Amino acid sequence: MGMKRKCSLLLAIMFCLTLLPFSSLSVQGVPAGLQVSAGGGNFTLVTQNGDLYTWGVGENGYAEGLP
């Protein structure tokens, strides 16, 4: 499966989103995910039992700011 690239021009700056093939990943100690969301270096996982996990690329790997 090849990579797909989607680009748009906004305020004279080119932003490109690279869509890579998806594969599942198991993380020891984290229950199976029901829904995952990612964007801007921040990630959110809702597990099958309703727990919420967040992580990101902010200082020390924490998601920064409020949604």
The Cα–Cα gap between 53 and 46 comes to 7
User: What are the domain boundaries of the chain?
Assistant: 33-59
- The predicted model scores a pTM of 0.45
Mean pLDDT of 15-36: 61
The Cα–Cα gap between 39 and 56 comes to 9
Which pLDDT band, with edges at 50, 70 and 90, does 14 fall under? Answer: very low
Asked whether 43 and 52 are in contact (CB, 8 A), the reply is no
Question: pLDDT digits over 30-64, tens only?
Answer: 667 777 777 777 778 888 888 888 777 766 666 55
